[in-house]
Each structure stands twice: as C-alpha cells, then as structure tokens.
Amino acid sequence: MTDPASTLAPPAPVAAGRWRCRGRDFALTRPWVIGILNVTPDSFSDGGRFTAHDRALEHARAMLADGADALDVGGESTRPGAAPVEGAAEAARVVPIVAALRAEFPGVPLSVDTVKASVARAALDAGAEIVNDVSAGRLDPAMAETCAAAGAGVILMHSRGTVADMATFVHAEYWPDPVADVVAELAGAIGRFSSAGVGSGQIVLDPGIGFSKRSAASLALLAGLPRLAALGYPVLVGASRKRFIGELTGVQLPADRMHGTTGANVAALLRGARLFRVHDVAAARQALDVAWAILQAEPST
Ligand code: HH2
C-alpha cells in the first residue's frame, strides 16, 4: 500500500532563492506577496475603483499595511474586450503612481505590469525595479534590452497571442501536456532575455494561470509547478480571483473568490511557488505565512 505521506510532494527546492532587481538583492526566504494595483478603468476584478491617483495610493498603503512585500502597478487590462491602450496613455496612468509610491515608500520593491518597453522604461525611470511582462517579451522586441539596460528584475509570464486575446481560449491548445509546452515556451523567453543581457538572478517565471488556458490546463500547471521550478528560477503564481476558481466553486463574482484563491496559493506553495500576485493581501499573507511555518518546522518523530 502507498504511504499516504509519500503522495504529498514536498516543496520543490528553490535553486535561485534570491532575486536581483536593479542592484537590490532580495532574499526569497519567505513567500512573497505582491499586491495588485490596477490603475485601469476596466480591470476584471476591481475595475475602476482605484483609477484616481489618490485612491490608488490609498489602496497601495492598505496593501502594504496588510503585509505586501511588493506592489505591481498595471495600466492596461488583459480582460477580453478591454480597450487597447497606447503606450503614452498607459505610461500616463502608471508613472505618476510609481513616482509617488517611490517617494513615499523608498524601500518597497515596485513592479510595472506592462508588455511595452516604452512603458517599462518610463516606470523604471520613475523608480520601479521590476518589470512584469505578461507576454514574456513576445510582444515588444525592445523589452528584453530595456530590462537588461536597467538591470531590472523581470517576471516572465507565459501567454500566447495579443493583449486582446491572451486571456481567451483562441490559443489554448496544448498537446499532449500543457506543462511541457509552457516550460518549453518559457525556456524560449529565458533565452531571449539572457541573450539581451538579463542575468539569470534577475528572472522569475510565471505559468500564466488563465492566460490562453482552460481551467484544466491551469490546474495541470499548478500541479506541475515543480517541473517549472526545475528550470532553476523562482516561480510566481497569479491565481488571484481567476476564472478557474469560479468554475471550480461556482462563485460568480471575482471579488468573492478570496477563499478559493487561498486554496490555490497554498497548493502552489506546496508545489514550489515562492511569489504570489494577489488582490487580497491580508488573506494571502496570513495563509502563506502559516503554511510556510509548517513546511519549515521539523516534524517530531
Ligand atoms: N494576471 C493578470 C495580470 N497580470 N501578471 C502576472 N505575472 N501573472 C498573472 O497571473 C497576471 C499578471 C490578470 O489579473 P488582473 O490584474 O486582476 O486583471 P487585469 O488583467 O484586468 O488587470
């Protein structure tokens, strides 16, 4: 008979337990909670509530008070049907927020969620140290060089297609194994960024939960995270409030999916994820810290 204990995979070792971002060297010695700050009028889960500058800052302060390790500022929604945003307009949304956060919180790592090198550059100039590119450099050939020039930390997220269709099922065919396809496509992205001069210590990988993926593929990727972690880079997961949680639980409203998100985050932690992009920071902080403490504790014999 199988020992029940052997069916629970231990957390995958994190080969790269540090993250170099513009001369700063972050130790990933506990799960990192990255608070989502969308400054778009149309994001799927918190659309329009924090568009105004002051409200965005207020929300950022609340997420930091709740224990966020870093903040991810985004000015373009990937929601299907969302209006495309020109680079200048996107920069006009995110740069003032990044600059204000940098002034108020000099020590807090700031990330910009963009697929455009021009927006990344503007945010880096305003004080961000991380670029979160949901196309992993596919959509702007200048992205890798921009990140290399700044020495930025980079989050390479798997997706397919354009901003308009990457969150649909247009490119959601994987055969026979979604994990193998995603690992291979992210390995290509690592090659692009490495050739441009981005150091291996600057890179974090993200399977892109829900991006060009049906729920079955998102689940397979969360279960298969150890194979992504085996590439040797820290792994980030963005499961927060996503559609697969709605499909599993029947919870319609994204804002009501916090408990499902907690389940996804803790399972992902067990499978090797070390960074978590979330809307509900307090819940993620509490759940991940407790799960982490249990994983670190010596079992008594
Ligand atoms: N998901 C979204 C946006 N950016 N970045 C990373 N690295 N990983 C993710 O899973 C991820 C991401 C989509 O979520 P949200 O920001 O809430 O919505 P929107 O795209 O409408 O802004």
Q: Give per-residue pLDDT as tens, 43-90.
A: 555 655 555 788 999 999 999 999 999 999 999 999 888 888 999 999
- Tell me how far CA of residue 37 lies from CA of 109, 129, 158, 290, in angstroms: 13, 16, 20, 25
CA of 202 to the centre of ligand 1 (A): 20
Q: Which atom of ligand 1 is nearest to the CA of 279?
A: 17
Q: Which atom of ligand 1 is nearest to the CA of 76?
A: 22
At 232, the pLDDT band (50, 70, 90 cuts) reads: very high
CA of 97 to the centre of ligand 1 (A): 18
90 within ligand 1 shell (Cβ under 6 A): no
Rounded average pLDDT over 155-168: 95
Rounded average pLDDT over 171-178: 94
Paired tokens of 292:
């982490």
Rounded average pLDDT over 154-172: 95
* pLDDT at residue 47, rounded to an integer: 59
Give yes or no for residue 15 having a pLDDT over 80: no
pLDDT digits (tens, 9 = 90+) for 19-46: 999 999 999 999 999 999 999 875 555 6
* pLDDT at residue 201, rounded to an integer: 96
Q: How many C-beta neighbours within 10 Å does residue 62 have?
A: 13
Give yes or no for residue 265 having a pLDDT over 50: yes
Number of helices (H), then strands (E), in the chain:
10, 10
Per the CB < 8 A criterion, the answer to whether 117 and 77 are in contact is no
**Residue (of 188, 270, 292) closest to 222 by Cα position:** 270
Per the CB < 8 A criterion, the answer to whether 240 and 279 are in contact is yes
pLDDT digits (tens, 9 = 90+) for 183-221: 999 999 999 999 999 999 999 999 999 999 999 999 999
* pLDDT at residue 24, rounded to an integer: 95
Rounded average pLDDT over 220-241: 97
At 14, the pLDDT band (50, 70, 90 cuts) reads: very low
At 127, the pLDDT band (50, 70, 90 cuts) reads: very high
In this structure, what is the dihedral angle of CA atoms 36, 261, 155, 127, given to the nearest 10 degrees? 20
Q: Is 0.95 topped by the overall pTM? A: no
204 within ligand 1 shell (Cβ under 6 A): no
* pLDDT at residue 16, rounded to an integer: 45
Percentage of residues of the chain with pLDDT beyond 70:
91
* pLDDT at residue 12, rounded to an integer: 46
74 within ligand 1 shell (Cβ under 6 A): yes
* pLDDT at residue 1, rounded to an integer: 47
Q: Phi and psi (nearest 5°) for 141?
A: -60, -15
286 within ligand 1 shell (Cβ under 6 A): no
